[in-house]
Amino acid sequence: MDNLFRFLIGIRVLLSFVILEVIALLLFTASSYYQQSVVVSKLHSIRGSLHEQVTHFAQYLDLRETNAMLAAENTALHNELACYRFVHSTSPGTVTNHAGAPLFNYIPANITDNSVNKQHNYIMLDAGAADHVAPDMGVVTQNGVIGIVMAVTEHYAIVKSLLHTDWRCNVRLVHAGDFGPLQWDGLTYNEAVLHDIPQHSNVQTGDTVVTSGYSSIFPPDIPVGVVKSYEIKRGNFYEIRIRLFADFKKIRHVNIVSFLYRHEVNTLNELRDEY
Amino acid sequence: MNTNFIRLLCYFILLILMQDMVVDKLPLGTYIRPEIYTLFILLLPFNYPPISMLGWAFALGLGIDIFSMDIIGLHTAALLVLAYVRPRLLKLVSPKDDMESIATPSYHNLGWRSFIIYVMLSIAIYNTVLFILDTFSFHNFFHMLLRIISSTLATTFFIILIQVAFISKRR
């Protein structure tokens, strides 16, 4: 018996190793059972909350990168939203005739060529006759009037820019309520001049200028710019400098305004001229 | 003895957390897994009682199994083998008189060559047991061999890095 004890003490390390190893291997082979035990699942939930903290911390480390990515995405979405908002706020449904039928249709287009550094600037668009674009249609963005279609080919249109010293667009002062032609004076690309506002009109700096709607080219109430300064010229009329909302250097996407009853209006105008 | 136990317990918890929260999150691919927790067994003092060491190995293995959400018993079995062969490996690489020392194995008292051999051999044995149990077949033998070698090299590198950076400075 003594010998047996001595022997066991002699191999006690090996013995404990074998016992523990057998336990480990038993756990290993019956693992799926222990995985589901309460203790293990409790430990897993503790581990889960620890991991959450670590992930929170790790997220701080790449905040800068995430920020840059989100900012880029934000810009893209902003641009997209601006387009939708414009289409929505001035959608055909909002400008209707007395019977509630839409008066205007919009054709989206991208600018393929543009200039702001000449006195007679033109814009090329990637929409043409195939997209039902026709001469004398208005071109707008959410920031205002861009120009008027001069000529079209099958897939392209050439537009006379607002920055064209020979072209006039009829606009209205929102607070004063007076109408007049807006014309570019050829000085800077973000300012134009409103003529023919009578002296008795209540002109104020900061007043908004919108399209008048007195034409079959532009829908009414598209914002164009704000009054920057004004002075009396040629006796009885104000000459008002307007700061334009549209940044002609940056515009990329525009909408072409199609007046749905333009043929009827043209026919009437021709009849009038005949009489 | 008691303060020593608490100190070891702190290392124990720290190593499990480090493995799970930091090392396992490194983007190292499927072939390389540095097992820094093996440090705990490898760097116990020369004269540490073998049975206590087996106890630690068992607990450490269970901790890793549970924390890395692996099969329970897998790391436990492998770590027990490591703890069992450790005294024999130390005998192999170190002069006899070191075995009575309370110091821990390091490149100071073993020398660079012996220390690296000690770490690498230990980890190779550990990884062999671990991956054989994990695969439980010799079907993809070459595949398994590649994992054993790459993980052994990575673990050895990390352990030596940690020892040089943190542990030896304190002494």
Is residue B28 domain-resident? no
Does residue B67 form part of some domain? yes
CATH-assigned architecture of domain A106-274: Beta Barrel (2.40)
Which residues of chain B register pLDDT less than 50? Answer: 171
Q: Is the distance from CB of A262 to CB of A216 less than 8 angstroms?
A: yes
The whole-number pLDDT of residue A124 equals 85
Range of the domain at B119: 2-23+33-170
pLDDT above 80 for A50: no
CB–CB of A17 and B80 under 8 A?
A: yes
Examine the pLDDT at A94 and tell me if it is beyond 70: no
- Strands A179-183, A191-198: pairing is antiparallel
Amino acid at B2: N
A55 vs A242, residue with greater confidence: A242
The bridge status of strand A179-183 relative to strand A168-173 is antiparallel
Instruction: Look at residue A93 and tell me whether its pLDDT is greater than 50.
Output: no
Q: Which residues contact A43 (CB under 8 A, 6 or more apart)?
A: B66, B67
Cβ contact, residue pair A51, B21, below 8 Å = yes
Give the number of A-B residue pairs with CB atoms closer than 8 Å.
67
* pLDDT 10s digits, A95-122: 556 555 567 778 888 888 777 777 778 8
Q: Are A223 and A245 in contact (CB under 8 A)?
A: yes
Domain chopping of chain A, boundaries: 2-61, 106-274
How close B171 comes to chain A (CA, Å)? 31
Residues of B in contact with A50 (CB under 8 A): 17, 20-21
Is the confidence at residue A38, as pLDDT, over 70?
no
Nearest neighbour of B54 by CB, restricted to A20, A25, A40: A20
Residue B76 has φ and ψ, to the nearest 5°, of -60, -50
pLDDT at B81: 94
Whole-number pLDDT of residue B74: 86
> Confidence band (pLDDT; 50, 70, 90) for A254?
confident
The count of other CB atoms within 10 Å of the CB of residue A142 is 21
User: pLDDT tens digit string along A122-180?
Assistant: 888 888 888 889 888 999 887 788 999 988 888 888 888 888 888 888 899 988 888 89
Percent of chain A with pLDDT over 70: 84
Q: Please answer yes or no on whether A31 and B72 come within 8 Å at the CB atom.
A: yes
Question: Average of pLDDT values for A194-216?
Answer: 85
Average pLDDT of chain A, as a whole number: 80
**Number of domains chain B contains:** 1
Beta bridge partners of A231: A239
> What is the per-residue pLDDT across A257-274, written as a single tens digit (0 to 9) for each?
888 788 888 888 888 888
Smallest CA-to-CA distance from A69 within A81, A54, A83, A59 is with A59
Quote the pLDDT of residue A92: 45
Return the H-helix or E-strand segment holding A149: strand A144-152
pLDDT at position A204: 87
Closest to B41 in 3D by CA, of B162, B123, B132, B152 = B123
Q: Which residues of A touch B50 (CB under 8 A)?
A: 13
CA dist B75 → A27, B80, B83 (Å): 11, 8, 12
Interchain proximity A27–B20, CB inside 8 Å: no
In angstroms, the CA B14 to CA B123 distance is: 20
